[in-house]
Structure 1
Amino acid sequence: MNWHAVKAIYMFEINRAIRTIGQSIVSPVLSTSLYFIVFGAAIGSRINQIDGVDYGAFIVPGLIMLQLLTQSISNAAFGIYFPRFAGTIYEVLSAPVSAVEIVLGFVGAAATKSIMIGLIILATATLFVDFEIAHPIWMLLFLVLTGFTFSLLGFIIGIWADGFEQLQLVPLLVVTPLTFLGGTFYSIDMLPDFWRDVSLLNPVLYLVSGFRWAFYEASDVSIFVSLSMTLAFMAIAMTAIWWIFKTGWRIKP
């Protein structure tokens, strides 16, 4: 393993994030604060508790997960798309660097940035609501696994995209709606039976549910089901990336 190459790619991406720190950090924090004001205050005044948890505290894991998913995808997608757009990706591909090292550098940096944003939002939440984390190790585990998994997905999107507009297509039209419908602001036990069954087909539900269990030991599905689904998503994404490098799809002329 060429760790020097991994570090070079990783640090380049981290330094790029530092140069755009306002866009990378301030924007997610402001949008999350608005969610707390609108949903926590307006809706929270009408919903006292869900599963024994105050509504303002109940939505904290979901809001963190919402930003974690979108930031992971966006960071990884742009990180690999820009070298393709500028043509510098061929310098990386021609260097004595393996596909695993390339993915570790790009995806590792994207996951690091998204996890940092998740932790910053967690700290921001303490300004609005009181909450405790029942299982901090499980919380960090889901945070890292989810950040890494969706950074892998973002890496795939960055290779697939033909333009900057397509980089935002999947996060805006697919991931964000699935997150809103995945129990971010409510428990699916509040839904009619039919829509509850439909919600179980939403993969984001398992991520939000497992993450919320780490906070309050309250979830819509078993913690082990959530963990298994997260690992399954990661395996699927890694398989897709392996195929991309094996075939050279959209990364080799």
Structure 2
Amino acid sequence: MSHFNHRAIWAIYRFELHRFSRTLLTGLLVPVITTSLYFVVFGGAIGSRMTQIDGIPYAAFIVPGLIMMSMFTESIFNASFGIYMPKFSGTIYELLSAPISAGETVIAYVGAAATKSLIVGLIILATAHLFVDVNVMHPFAMIAFMVLIAVSFCLFGFILGIWAQSFEQLQVIPLLLIMPMTFLGGAFYSIHMLAEPWRTITLFNPIVYLISGFRWTFFGRGDVGIEYSLLFITAMLLVCLAVIGWMFKTGYRLKK
């Protein structure tokens, strides 16, 4: 049985993290400022009128949604940009001809992107503590959920980076699909607050299950059962892996 090319994985992983470090101040400052603004607008303005949701202070209730919203976009952007740039610059052919397997390539790029996404998520959590007292009921489950979310959405971003043939295409999915689905997925409210048929329609939004599951790790409750959240994120992980495997096997938009 062949061994992993640890040196190649580490080289790509380190290069991607170094690219992130060049914009470290911006990459970390933007989430802090954005989170602060959300707390001022949602926590202050709306929270003063809607003090609690399901017995949870509103300012604390929105914390999991804020973290998930940033992690979704960070994961997709970092992973898609990471693999798109070698395609754009033409160095993808050097990568494909190098003694590194498809699996090792994915581990390196997705691992680096997921690391960045987790750092941003933890910074937002720390920033939230400046505005509201947030107690995490299941801290280990929270970390595990963050890792699952980061890896899954980085895999999705990796697929997007291979599929995209321009910078416009690279941005269209996060802007036109993920962000609206996040806002409509219960990031800032409980779907139980919606009247029918909107409550039932919202259940077809996959983001609902991710935000609800992550909120469960904080407060022990969510809009849907934790088992459905875990089932969905596992299914997403497996589907993304299958699609990436097919892309490398067929050379879809890699060898053109």
Q: Report the TM range for the smaller structure's normalisation.
A: over 0.9
Identical pairs, percent: 57
State which of 206, 209, 227 in structure 1 corresponds to 2:230: 227
Residue matched to 1:158: 161
| 1:134 corresponds to 2:163 | no
Deviations 1:147-206 (A, max 9, x none): 000000100111111111221111111001000000000000000121111110000111
CA RMSD after TM alignment:
0.7
Query: Normalization by structure 1: what TM-score?
Result: 0.99
State which of 147, 150, 160 in structure 1 corresponds to 2:150: 147
CA distance in 1, matches of 2:72, 2:5: 29
Residue matched to 2:20: 17
* Range 20-29 or range 240-249, more displaced: 20-29
| 1:101 corresponds to 2:97 | no
Residue 105 of structure 1 and its aligned partner are, at CA, apart by 0.4
State which of 191, 195, 212 in structure 1 corresponds to 2:194: 191
Residue 222 of structure 1 and its aligned partner are, at CA, apart by 0.6
Residue matched to 1:176: 179
State which of 5, 10, 20 in structure 2 corresponds to 1:7: 10
| 1:245 corresponds to 2:217 | no
Deviations 1:118-137 (A, max 9, x none): 00100000001111000001
| Paired residue secondary structure (1:168) | helix
CA distance in 2, matches of 1:33, 1:167: 28
Residue matched to 2:58: 55
CA distance in 2, matches of 1:128, 1:162: 42
CA distance in 2, matches of 1:191, 1:97: 50
Query: Normalization by structure 2: what TM-score?
Result: 0.97
Residue matched to 2:82: 79
- Residue 157 of structure 1 aligns with an amino acid whose one-letter code is L
CA distance in 2, matches of 1:23, 1:85: 24
| 1:116 corresponds to 2:119 | yes
Runs of 4+ in 1 over 3 A off after TM superposition: none
| 1:26 corresponds to 2:29 | yes
Unaligned runs of 5+ in 2: none
Task: Give the number of aligned pairs.
Answer: 253
